[in-house]
Amino acid sequence: MAYWFNVDKGTVEDDSSKSPGDQLLGPYTTQDEATRALEHARENTEKWDAEDKAWDDAGLED
């Protein structure tokens, strides 16, 4: 079973009760992973921002 985090409601949903896709983060394999969805998204954003900054600071171009 997959789990989803509903960003509008701040709740975890499973496949049997999931809301429309534009409200969801996931799928996650466990309820605990879904509960931590926003934390994980924040960590990824911080990591990618740091990588972008390092790229810009190095003067690299596409």
Question: What does the block give as tokens for 48?
Answer: 């990618």
Domain-embedded: residue 14: yes
Count of domains for the chain: 1
Domain-embedded: residue 15: yes
Domain-embedded: residue 60: no
Nearest Cα neighbor of 8 from 30, 21, 31, 24 is 24
**Rounded CA gap, 49 and 54, in Å?**
9
Long-range contacts made by residues 11-18, C-beta under 8 angstroms, separation at least 24? none
Q: Tell me the pLDDT band of 62, cut-offs 50, 70 and 90.
A: low
**Rounded CA gap, 46 and 60, in Å?**
20
Q: For residue 10, what are the domain limits? A: 1-30
pLDDT at position 60: 60
pLDDT in tens, 1-58: 999 999 999 999 999 999 988 999 999 999 999 999 999 999 999 999 999 999 988 8
Query: Please, what is the average pLDDT of the chain?
Result: 92
